[in-house]
Structure 1
Amino acid sequence: MTNVFDAGGAFGLMCQVEVGESDPLLLVTPLTELSFDRTHPIAHDVADYRRRCMQTA
């Protein structure tokens, strides 16, 4: 993950991911679509963000 930004409104928090080394593929996806190990430091914050998004949808 190389960047996180707020796309606002329906898109919310987005993250930029680079896959590969010599000629990396650049992907941009909603943060809530990524899977995090439950022990990762950001996992709890992402789960809270998902819950808040679900309540407002």
Structure 2
Amino acid sequence: MILIIMVDDHPSVGQGTKYMIEEESDMKATVVSMGMQALELLKCEMFDLLIIDLNMPVINGGN
């Protein structure tokens, strides 16, 4: 199973991308809306891939 975490502050983008990813039977996506949420989740869970929005307040994919 490929575990993916996505960080995006636009709910429709995050949920839509999650839906498309999970059409593959061997992929599972977790969506959070803030960088700090992702950092907390990464302390206790392992992911194979991180997808991070480049334009978000506070922490983003460009930091």
Does TM, normalized by the shorter one, top 0.5? no
The structure with the largest alpha-carbon Rg is: 1
Relative contact order: is structure 1 or structure 2 higher (C-alpha 8 Å, sep ≥ 6)? 2
The answer to which structure has the higher strand fraction is: 1
TM-score by length of 2: 0.24
TM-score by length of 1: 0.26
